[in-house]
Amino acid sequence: MTGVRLSARWLAVVGWCVLLLGGHVGAVRGGTPGEAREPVEGPGAGEDGAARGGGQQEDEGGDEASWDRGRSFLYKEIVVSTSFSRRESDGLVLSHHPPGSYVALDYVRTFTAESRANRALPGWLELGAIDLHPRAVYHGKMPDSDMMAMGEGVDWPMADGGEVHFAPQDFWVRFQLAGNDRLTLRVGQFVLPYGGSPLMAPRQTFILPVEALDLGLKWDWGLGIKGPLGGHEWELAATVGSGEAWHAPSALGGERPASRLFSGRVGSPSYWNFQYGLSALVGALPTLHGPFMVDDFALSRRRLSVDGSYKLGTYLSFGAQATYGHDGHAGDEDHVLINQGRATAAVLGYRAWADWVPAGGYDLRLAGQFEALTRDRGTPGTTESAAILEISYSLTTEITVKLDYRAVLEDFMGLDDDALHLTVVYYGS
């Protein structure tokens, strides 16, 4: 595990530099700060596939007029997340739960068939869009009470604190294949086609799908292909099993088993009111916690997940997700930590959530989730569950404040306690 040891003061300095950085390129206004500005796919995206909400067309003068009718957007982002629990000795600390605290830039660029870049490509391969979202993520020291609960000799990534990691969330190039705008190839780091992540754009949020609690990752590096299946969509991905940061164990050789991951999903497109999907994941993954790697042994894992959600009118949406699978099923059960390597672990996770924008109060959003994960159904007392309530308010089109209360219902490791989490998000041009 690598990291740059910096203080929170340095993170603040970098944050102000991001705010003062020039270079706005055709930014759009409106919407909730922090919403993913990924170029829209499917009906309503427009002929050029640009993100909804407009943008500035780039037109380079000279002999060739309007050589490129694509659009580009540059956003600056600062997220600061703090937590306060009933453990008086901890006080107010930077939260080690996602979304964490970080500074970032988000550059989105769309292309058309007339773009100069596409003139150099074969006709069956057309550059459609890029999204570059580099982040510098800061994690403070783990609270002393958590360290005491874990006991001595446990190597937890936030034990020392003060680390800054390069951990993008979306860093990809997307191509359209064979002249079909619904058949796409994505290269780089992207949201995995597994679980609830593909539909919920899990940036800047405390309410997350089951895979975040279960596997510690929602993004990964590799190749992904997506296409139509009648009115539905399918997506497959082959990735390195690194997560947000680049720390795939034994990727370049070594004695430890190399991480790898294959995932896929079939379901409804994201613009339907009733969204549902069936997804699967298989491979070997290290134990991850966001940008950190807790254990570098790539343990065999397989999962099957079903999810569904419904948008009722303009203001209310709700959904559920269930996941089942195994850890250590490929003869490496001796590395399953939850049962001291006695057997393959059977994992079961589920959640139910709701999201409501009060009528007429577009700046206010209320959300809630119940989440539970049993890390081994064959080992008693390995369940963790919690209920989350969130109030989110947009002060401006660029600044949002979120207050989350997480009530811990079951915690077999004794690490969590009921806590308030205050997150401030700046996302704008």
The string of pLDDT tens digits covering residues 255-273 is: 566 889 999 999 999 889 9
pLDDT tens for 173-229 read 999 999 898 999 999 999 999 998 887 767 888 899 999 999 988 899 999 999 999
Cis peptide bond prior to 99, omega within 30° of 0 = yes
How crowded is residue 2: how many other Cβ atoms within 10 Å of its Cβ? 10
- Which pLDDT belongs to residue 65? 40
Instruction: Determine, yes or no, domain membership for 58.
Output: no
pTM of the model: 0.80
Domain residue limits at 310: 4-38+70-428
pLDDT classification of 89: cutoffs 50, 70, 90: low
pLDDT tens for 354-395 read 999 987 777 999 999 999 999 999 999 999 999 999 999 999
For residue 252, give the amino acid letter. Answer: L
- Which pLDDT belongs to residue 157? 53
Instruction: Determine, yes or no, domain membership for 64.
Output: no
Instruction: Determine, yes or no, domain membership for 18.
Output: yes
Q: Assign residue 147 the CATH number of its domain.
A: 2.40.160.10
Instruction: Determine, yes or no, domain membership for 378.
Output: yes
Q: Which residues neighbour 52 within 8 Å (Cβ) at sequence distance 6 or greater? A: 40, 44, 45, 46
pLDDT classification of 107: cutoffs 50, 70, 90: very high
How crowded is residue 8: how many other Cβ atoms within 10 Å of its Cβ? 15
Percent of residues, the chain, with pLDDT higher than 70: 73
Domain count for the chain: 1
Question: How many CA within 13 A on the CB side of residue 69?
Answer: 9
Instruction: Determine, yes or no, domain membership for 61.
Output: no
Instruction: Determine, yes or no, domain membership for 43.
Output: no
Instruction: Determine, yes or no, domain membership for 49.
Output: no
Instruction: Determine, yes or no, domain membership for 17.
Output: yes
Residue 9 has pLDDT above 60, yes or no: no
Percent of residues, the chain, with pLDDT higher than 90: 49
How far apart, in Å, are the Cα atoms of 192 and each of 348, 391, 405?
19, 27, 28
- Which pLDDT belongs to residue 32? 45
